[in-house]
Structure 1
């Protein structure tokens, strides 16, 4: 399970590199600018969701159907939702 923008960006970077693409090449395939890909891979939390999903699908990340995806078994660490960012 991806729990943060940083983890999501790292997953996109990993898959992009497996494809042998540069950030510029991925940006061209997604119809975005290179700066967006850089920010996405660096885990910028304010990246646009739609563009992020396009980039993930472009590099082959299967996001699945959120309505039918079974949630992973809860662990004690999940119960407190401590992994979620806190905004003050």
Structure 2
């Protein structure tokens, strides 16, 4: 698990994952059904990105979001996939 405490940390983690998979920003944008500019801004740590698109990028990279330290809440039986 990668601790994320800022938009810059999220962007760096997603950039590293993309590069590890051998994807270009254009490849990732196509897989996540977002624009290349969105991927560029996300990797740069731009704070005003859309959550739905962020989740699609994470999904396209094979990741998922988990929250720690919050009050227990019921979890869905199956995780929701935001990709294509």
CA distance in 1, matches of 2:47, 2:34: 17
- Structure 2 unaligned regions, length at least 5: 70-84
Task: Tell me the TM-score normalized by structure 1.
Answer: 0.71
Cα pair 1:5 1:44 within 8 Å, conserved: yes
4+ residue segments displaced more than 4 Å: none
Structure 1's unaligned 5+ residue stretches are 72-88
**CA distance in 2: counterparts of 1:61 and 1:11, whole angstroms:** 11
Aligned to 1:32: 34
- Please say if residues 15 and 60 of structure 1, whose CA atoms lie closer than 8 Å, have aligned partners that are also in contact: no
Distance 2:44 2:9 in 1: 9
Given candidates 56, 63, 70, the residue that maps to 2:65 is: 63
